[in-house]
Structure 1
Amino acid sequence: METIIGLSLLIFALTLFSLFSFKAPMGKEAMSALAGTAIATFLVEAVHNFISGDLFGIEFLQEVGVSAGSLSGTIAAILVPIKMGVNPVFAVVAGAALLEVGIIPGFVAGYLVGIIAPKLEEKLPSGVSTIVGALVLAPFSRFVAVITIPIVDATLLNIGDMIVIASEQSPVVMGFFLGGIIKVICSSPLSSMALTAMLGLQGLAMGIASIASFAGAFANGVLFKRLKFGDNSNVVAVMLEPLTQADIITTNPLPIYFTNFLGGGIGGLIAVYFGIVSNAPGTASPIPGMLAPFAFNAPITVVTALILAVVGGLLGGYIGSTVFLLASKKKVVLKTSQN
């Protein structure tokens, strides 16, 4: 039952996430900024606080990590309006008011500032708009964030908690399906980093998402190479960041998403086998997914898991590409016989 609930809530969250991204004004831009926030805060915190600091004892870098992790709400409230095209001064004003606020309330505040700031600027004289805008938007941003906190705790973070519980109760099933779904999202126009940041995934669930994202990169590489989706530069690019190849992905969604699901699912199972955990939500992408687990697991365990994830990703890519190569050959034979 925990598995069913966890997967159902994940799909529900993904549906909400998709609706916002594609239907809300400037939704894609806002979600892209949220993914950038996760890198600027959670990834920096994971690497420098827990690896450079706890593991290597470099106090200065640990301070860098602690500082970055504590400012997730502030950075979200700044990056989101900037990505939406707002005057940078207004964006910084919105973020400066959000001391000790989490990433999602900061995101909501930043998004609403991104909607109203241009209208406010239009109605005020140019010499007055900056001062009045700053004085109005700062308390507005703080007010929105404060009233959003209990709503986020009761919805998105609760969904994330249920997914975490389901991953612990039924690790094998959740490892495959969660890993597969996260990698498909990673290769879609959506953002797996933004989704995992919104849900606040931690522990084994986030470990699954991280390793799955890394493994799926190699599945993508094999698929692009064998099905001749572009040249070698496209192969490298899709492995590092799938969204750089959005034109190819949207043209060939079925083989790419199918293969990503296989590669991500295998990567998720490997994460479960080695008990990989991560408390850095929002790092579900190939490179962040490779780095963040080192902060929360024994290095030799992570290295072993990553090596096997490469093998698993290559296997998933080979299986997926073989299925569609055979399917394409069958289509050619049928067309030839019909002619």
Structure 2
Amino acid sequence: MKQFFLRKGVNLSVKTYAITALSYMALGLFSSLIIGLIIRTAGEQLNWLFFVEMGQLAMDLMGPAIGVAVAYGLKAPPLIVFSAVISGAAGAELGGPAGAFLAALLSVEIGKLVSKETKLDIIVTPFVTIAVGYTIAYFLGPIIDVGLISIGDAIMWATEQQPFIMGIIVAVLMGLALTAPISSAAIAIMIELEGIAAGAATVGCAAQMVGFAVSSYRENGVSGLAALGIGTSMLQVPNVVKNPLILVPPTIAGAVFAPLSTMVFLMENNASGAGMGTSGLVGQIMTFSVMGFHLQILFIMLLIHVAGPAVISLSLSEWMRKKKWIKLGDMKIDQG
């Protein structure tokens, strides 16, 4: 059985499903829901109906985008990739983003098992992929969606009740998820994280990116500053494995500014921006979308998303270098 699975490209592992598949789901989300929301927001602000309709269409096609992204990430054959469009669409319709992910994941893996096993492959493979995807979406999608949204509701409620403690917890956990090889964006969207909890998550994620970008400037230069600060702090994962202490400065920076976000400035965000940090400036664009395009909001974001985390991360990392806990080269990234 194990040999059969390997031959069919089905790798039953946590890494495959919790890291690879989820990361590709995030790409599908960015290519549909997130970019669509940015386009629609721009259209609304500029009063361009063409952009509003374009963005809404991209958002409406989130499910198919997730289906294709997951199938591509799992290296599925072409017939399965194309059929996963239907699985993702069904999952999104019946169970939201999480339903789309689950329906696509299971339908793709089961589709692989039957792929090219019969002379009627062109019928059997897409039928099995679509049938499995729709069945999963129909029976499990709503349950998964409600369960994850309930978790998100609990987090948002707890953050409103205990903004200091929960602000720190949300910022730290979401920030670490952003740097880890999993998708903080997908997590935020699946649990529909909003309000001040989403604001805290944005602070934690931004702190990781800006913190690593500034702390490693001497090793990575301007290109590294951009790659980490606007791209992703996930580039530091190999270095974190070698020296986990490099996580300390940006994580503390996020913990420091999270209470300011939840208690002083009452910063909010939506699910699409909560897990993005400063990646493509999506976290900041979505903050504007929720709170309005005001100069005051811009100054607050510059303080708690950029300048503050940069100062704390750089100061702590320099102190840790003096203590020999971080050495030159510990944060050097591979920029291809």
What's the TM-score once normalised by structure 1's chain length?
A: 0.81
- Say if 1:45 and 1:66, in contact at 8 Å, map to a contact too: yes
Residue 322 of structure 1 pairs with residue 322 of structure 2: no
Q: Do residues 105 (structure 1) and 99 (structure 2) align?
A: yes
- Taking only the aligned residue pairs, the percentage that are identical comes to 22
Q: Deviations over 1:206-250 (max 9, x none)?
A: 22222332233221122213xx54454334322221123332232
Q: Check whether the contact 2:178–2:184 (CA below 8 A) recurs between aligned residues.
A: yes
User: 1:77: how far off?
Assistant: 1.8
Q: Letter of the 2:307 partner, please give it.
A: V
Match of 1:147 in 2: 139
1:11 matched residue in structure 2: none
The letter for the 2-side match of 1:104 is A
Who is 1:15 aligned against? none
**8 Å CA contact retained: 1:30, 1:111:** yes
Are 2:165 and 1:173 aligned?
yes
Whether the aligned pair in 2 keeps the contact of 1:46 and 1:280 (CA below 8 Å) is: no
Distance of 1:330 and 1:165 partners within structure 2 = 38
Write the deviation string for residues 155-200 of structure 1: whole angstroms up to 9, x where unpaired.
2221111011112222232222211221122112222112212322
Residues 171 and 330 (structure 1 numbering): CA distance in 2 closer, same or farther, change over 3 Å? Answer: closer
Counterpart position of 2:32: 41
Residue of structure 1 equivalent to 2:208:
216
Hey, what's the Cα distance between the residues in 2 that align with 1:319 and 1:330?
13
- CA-to-aligned-CA distance 1:68-122 (integer Å, 9 cap, x gap): 2223222212211111001233223232252524111110011112211221113
Per the alignment, residue 292 of structure 1 pairs with: 286
**Structure 1 residues 155 and 245 mapped into 2: Cα distance closer, same or farther (>3 Å)?**
same
- 1:43 touches 1:292 (CA, 8 Å); kept in 2? no
- Quick one: higher RCO (CA 8 Å, sep 6+), 1 or 2? 1
Partners of 1:210 and 1:289 within 8 A in 2:
yes
Q: Secondary structure at the match of 1:86?
A: coil
Q: How far is the alpha carbon of 1:40 from its aligned partner?
A: 2.0
1:22 to 1:241, Cα distance in 2 relative to 1, 3 A:
farther
Distance 2:104 2:113 in 1: 15
2:189 corresponds, among 168, 182, 197, to 197
103-112 or 195-204, which moves further after superposition? 195-204
How far residue 328 of structure 1 moved from its aligned partner, in angstroms, is 0.9
* Number of residue-to-residue matches in the alignment: 305
Task: Confirm or deny that 1:304 pairs with 2:299.
Answer: yes
> Greater CA deviation, 295-304 or 318-327?
318-327
Q: Which residue does the alignment assign to 2:253?
A: 263
| TM-aligned CA distance change 1:88 to 1:207, over 3 Å | farther
Matches within 5 A, 1:54-133: 54-97=44-87, 98-99=89-90, 100-101=93-94, 102-125=96-119, 128-133=120-125
TM-score between both structures, scaled by the size of structure 2: 0.81
CA 1:130 to 1:235, structure 2 compared with 1: closer, same or farther past 3 Å? same
- Contact 1:184-1:260 within 8 A present in 2 as well: no
Q: Which ranges of structure 1 fall in alignment gaps of 5 or more residues?
A: 1-20, 332-339
Q: Where does residue 236 of structure 2 map in the other structure?
A: 245
Is the CA contact 2:188–2:275 (under 8 Å) kept in the aligned structure 1? yes
1:296 match: secondary structure: helix
Residue number in structure 2 paired with 1:23: 14
Compared CA separation, residues 277 and 22, structure 1 to 2 (3 A)? farther
Query: Is the CA contact 2:185–2:274 (under 8 Å) kept in the aligned structure 1?
Result: yes
Moved more, 272-281 or 188-197: 272-281
In the alignment, is the contact (CA less than 8 A) between 1:110 and 1:141 conserved in 2? yes
Does the aligned pair in 2 maintain the 1:195–1:282 contact within 8 Å? no
Shift of residue 330, structure 1, vs aligned partner: 11
Q: What is the rounded CA distance, in whole Å, between the counterparts of 2:99 and 2:215 in structure 1?
A: 39
Give the letter for the 1:302 counterpart. Answer: I
Residues of 1 paired with 2:257 and 2:209: CA distance?
A: 10
Kept after mapping to 1: 8 A contact 2:245/2:326: no
AA of the residue aligned to 1:82: Y
Two-structure CA RMSD over aligned residues (Å): 2.5
Shift of 1:267: 4.1
